[in-house]
Amino acid sequence: MAVRKENHGDRLQARIIAFWGGLSLTRQFILIGFAVVFLGMTVIGHWIATRIAAEVQHGDSVATALFVDSFMAPHLQALARGEPLPETNAAALDRLLQRDAVRSRIVAVTIRLPDGTVAYSTRKDLIGRTFELDEPTREAFRGDVIAGFEVPQDGGLPLLETHSPVWSESEPRIVAVAEIYENAGMLFDDLARARTDAWLITGIVALLMAMALYGVVARGSRTIAAQRAALAGQVEALSEALWTNEELRERIEQSARRAVDCNERFLRRLADGLRDGPAQLVGLALLRLDGWKPPSGSLEATDRSAVRSALAAVLEDVRGICGDLHMPEIDGLSLREAVAFTILDHEHRTGAPVNVQAMDLPAAVPPLVKVCLCRFLKEGLNGTVRIGAGTSPRLSVRHEAGVVIAEVADGETGRDRSPERITGRLSLTGLSDRIEGLGGTMDIIHRPGEARRLAARLPYRRMDRA
């Protein structure tokens, strides 16, 4: 049962939060602002009404105390001597209270002695009787003027009950307490009008404050809403532009990959054409020259030897060009096998061993990446043979975060080489374009006193997704 109550409380809290979050800034301000203003208006209005009633009550009690001291106390001085109130004094008090101006306000009067005895009263049946002193009467005997409203439960006339001390004229001593009951009907009406005016003025001021604040907040809310709409439009436009740019980038990358693939097929066809055409014809010419043997020392023998040397050089150059253009047969090999085949092919052709420092390859990559990586390794290893003859090149291949990273160093340090000699070869320029067409990069790192390094980064995961 406790769990159910807790879940119900959580759901209620979640609903309140969701409801509040769905409101606009203006509506949130209306709810909070008017609640605060209403609470403040209630507190201030109640305080003002209470203060008005207290001040009116205090003023009336002061007037009553002055009436007692000025008109009634002279007739009560016999009580200061411990004597009963003389009949003449009681009759004088009766005449005083029967005056029209007094009778319209004062309903009843009772004079109490310190022991609770009633020395005088407009109700003659109470004179001489003794009653226990109540708290307002005790405070009046201590010198205070105590006043308070008394509203009968039967809906009768509301009264203002005032307890005023009666002082002795001969010495500073309280001889009795006058309990005066005044007609408070008009006073209640005045207090009701004062409360109404106080509440009305407070409400108007609070309403004006709330309306002024609402105007400011509503204007700010409209500004925020307009800015939010403009920002949403800009975000939508930027998102659309980003999507368009992404689509264009994908198209460019696909075009670059197709260009690399077409270039690779073209190079293979060119290599096959050179091998099957000019190379075979030159080879045939060499065979025919080998079958023609002019007399030794003759001019024909000399020309034959020169022609044969030229044709052999041409055949060697054509075979070298075919070797650069045509990759070994790596289509059916994995990436690790293709890299190993490229290294072994280089060692077999040049006789220079390759120092493999690292070989951490992914299980599978797209065919274009495999071919491009093998071309990079082949060109880098061939460059070490051309530039740093007699050295053992260093090679490392690894992968991280969907990128194959390959580096080839020539094994020599401290040898100064011209940057133009390194970067000016057409094969490196074409290789760099090929790698960049697949979304990768190629860098030639050359620092004085260090071995030259050729580094390439080829992404392969993005091509898999494409």
pLDDT at position 361: 85
Rounded alpha-carbon distances, angstroms, from residue 457 to 233, 336, 340, 403: 39, 17, 19, 6
Query: Average pLDDT, stretch 169-184?
Result: 86
Q: DSSP readout, 106-156? A: EEEEEEE-TTSBEEEESSGGGTT-B----HHHHHHHTT--EEEEE--TTS-
Under CATH, to which class is 24-191 assigned?
A: alpha beta
Lowest mean pLDDT among 197-201, 413-417, 431-435: 413-417
Bridge partner residues of 399 (DSSP): 404
* Domain ranges, ordered by start, for the chain: 24-191, 329-465
pLDDT at position 290: 67
Q: DSSP readout, 81-109? A: GTPPPPHHHHHHHHHHHTSHHHHTTEEEE
- Cα–Cα distance, 9 to 153 (Å, whole number): 45
Residue 121: pLDDT over 50: yes
- The two tokens of residue 72 are 């009634």
Helices vs strands, H then E, count in the chain: 13, 10
**Model-wide pTM > 0.85:** no
pLDDT tens string 383-424: 776 655 556 788 889 888 889 999 998 766 545 444 444 443
Asked if residues 458 and 373 have their Cβ atoms less than 8 Å apart, the reply is yes
Nearest to 152 by CA among 218, 107, 92, 110: 107
Q: How far is CA 310 from the centre of its chain?
A: 78
Nearest to 44 by CA among 204, 189, 190: 204
Asked if residues 440 and 458 have their Cβ atoms less than 8 Å apart, the reply is yes
CATH superfamily, domain at 329-465:
Histidine kinase-like ATPase, C-terminal domain (3.30.565.10)
Residue 78: pLDDT over 60: yes
Query: Average pLDDT, stretch 272-301?
Result: 66
- Residue partners of 18: CB distance under 8 A and separation at least 6: none
Rounded alpha-carbon distances, angstroms, from residue 437 to 250, 328, 442: 12, 22, 11
